[in-house]
């Protein structure tokens, strides 16, 4: 989960890192409390994507009227296709020097990245001038220690202010570790003309898999950075939070204009499945994943939510590789097929192509064949001998046949 700047700064502040004095607004009413403040102010749109500065998302106000105009202009606007719901109004800093400091993961190890050149894209800087960016792995058993922090600063060419920068680096690691972060970045870390070190910006990303340990954060859900979360996407997220076992709804995308539901398993397999469907002319309506051996109840709920797609559906594709620890019988029979059976008004002629293998798969397929014969579901069962691409072709073929049937029925009714 990526955090807004103001959320990251709240965590920085708790870790003892100095941040600018500021206030978050979601409407214009809060402006009245700032009329007697010290000016000028920095007015910063809160979005989850980068590059807001060049897009006009950061302005400065020298008086209350200018602040009102800026807030009114930014609130509700769209930056990089993301609606601005929050504005962070802060003191404008008198900057003497800017640094870059972050802690993230590289090759499964936490690393510190530091540069004397803050306020720039550190990736581009490292390409143009590798020596300007210092990157050091952190021992996961001992964590970041003062001795290593000082070594990093020496390698970066820091001579003065070593004590202050060491202290900030150690506090940032504490914040990173305590919040199960994947990234904790200060860019720029500003030294003001008064000699204070202040985190002028924050970029933090938390590990979704560790959310069960971070219940005290109370952060609102956010899905992606380009659009609003749809109602059924929110339902899927709530379904995933039913318990902590496995995932069933954490990744869920509604795609308007499509007509096929994809219930996929496995990151690489899921990506290949989506590519194959598009390649062969299919259009997904829902793309979601279930993995990590979720309970049948969670998978059933996910299925029912996917089938609540408001458009017309012409096919269901349950696709995955060979599962090593997911119970295929539980997820397919007690999860997905039970969800389908409990979906009111479901047309049993809709083709359901299953390409799956793993624990209890033969038992699952045997039961599914019985369901196909007794309940008359339009089921097509495939194992690892059928490629993902071929199963996509199979689904599209039968989806097209189903569409023809519907068209013939519609034409027949029209002639009556």
pLDDT in tens, 201-245: 999 999 877 877 887 887 766 655 456 788 999 999 999 988 889
* Token representation of residue 58: 């950061």
By the 10 Å C-beta count (0-12 exposed, 13-18 middle, 19+ buried), 19 is classed as buried
Please determine, looking at this structure, whether the domain spanning 95-217 carries the CATH number 3.40.50.10320. Answer: no
**pTM exceeding the 0.85 threshold for the entire prediction:** no
Domain boundary assignment for the chain: 21-91, 95-217, 231-415
Other CB atoms within 10 A of residue 325 CB: 10
pLDDT at 197: 97
pLDDT at 198: 98
What class does CATH assign to 231-415?
alpha beta
What's the rounded Cα separation, in Å, for the pair 75 and 27? Answer: 7
By the 10 Å C-beta count (0-12 exposed, 13-18 middle, 19+ buried), 322 is classed as middle
pLDDT in tens, 307-317: 999 999 999 99
What class does CATH assign to 21-91?
alpha beta
By the 10 Å C-beta count (0-12 exposed, 13-18 middle, 19+ buried), 126 is classed as middle
Other CB atoms within 10 A of residue 178 CB: 13
């Amino acid at each position: 989960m990526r955090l807004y700047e103001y959320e990251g700064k709240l965590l920085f502040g708790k870790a003892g890192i100095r941040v600018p004095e500021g206030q978050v607004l979601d409407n214009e009413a809060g402006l009245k409390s700032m009329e007697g403040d010290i000016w000028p102010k920095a007015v910063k749109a809160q979005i989850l994507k980068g590059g807001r500065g060049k897009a006009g998302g950061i302005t400065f106000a020298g008086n209350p009227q200018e602040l009102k105009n800026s807030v009114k202009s930014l609130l509700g606007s769209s930056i990089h296709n993301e609606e601005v719901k929050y504005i962070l109004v802060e003191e404008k800093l008198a900057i003497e020097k800017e640094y870059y400091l972050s802690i993230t993961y590289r090759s499964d190890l936490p690393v510190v990245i530091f540069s004397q050149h803050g306020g720039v894209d550190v990736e581009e800087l490292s390409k143009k001038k590798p020596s300007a960016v210092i990157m050091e792995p952190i021992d996961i058993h001992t964590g970041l220690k003062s001795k290593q922090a000082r070594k990093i600063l020496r390698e970066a060419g820091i001579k003065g202010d070593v004590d202050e920068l060491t202290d900030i680096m150690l506090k940032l690691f504490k914040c990173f570790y305590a919040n199960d972060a994947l990234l904790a970045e200060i860019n720029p870390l500003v030294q003001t003309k008064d000699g204070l070190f202040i985190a002028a910006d924050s970029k933090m990303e938390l590990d979704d898999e560790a959310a069960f340990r971070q219940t005290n954060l109370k952060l609102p859900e956010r899905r992606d950075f380009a659009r609003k979360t749809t109602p059924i996407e929110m339902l899927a997220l709530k379904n995933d939070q039913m318990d902590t076992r496995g995932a069933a709804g954490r990744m869920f995308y509604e795609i308007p204009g499509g007509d096929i539901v994809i219930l996929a398993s496995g990151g690489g397999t899921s990506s290949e499945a989506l590519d194959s469907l598009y390649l062969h002319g299919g259009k997904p309506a829902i793309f979601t994943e279930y993995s990590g051996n979720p309970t049948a109840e969670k998978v059933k709920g996910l299925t029912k939510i996917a089938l609540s797609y408001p458009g017309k559906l012409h096919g269901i594709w349950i696709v995955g590789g060979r599962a090593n620890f997911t119970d295929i019988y539980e997820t397919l029979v007690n999860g997905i097929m039970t969800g389908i059976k409990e979906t009111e008004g479901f047309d049993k002629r809709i083709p359901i192509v299953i390409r799956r293998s793993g624990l209890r798969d033969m038992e699952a397929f045997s039961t599914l064949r019985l369901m196909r014969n007794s309940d008359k579901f339009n089921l097509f069962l495939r194992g690892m001998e059928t490629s993902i691409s071929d199963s996509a072709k199979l689904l599209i073929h039968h989806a097209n046949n189903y569409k023809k049937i519907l068209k013939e029925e519609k034409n027949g009714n029209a002639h009556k």
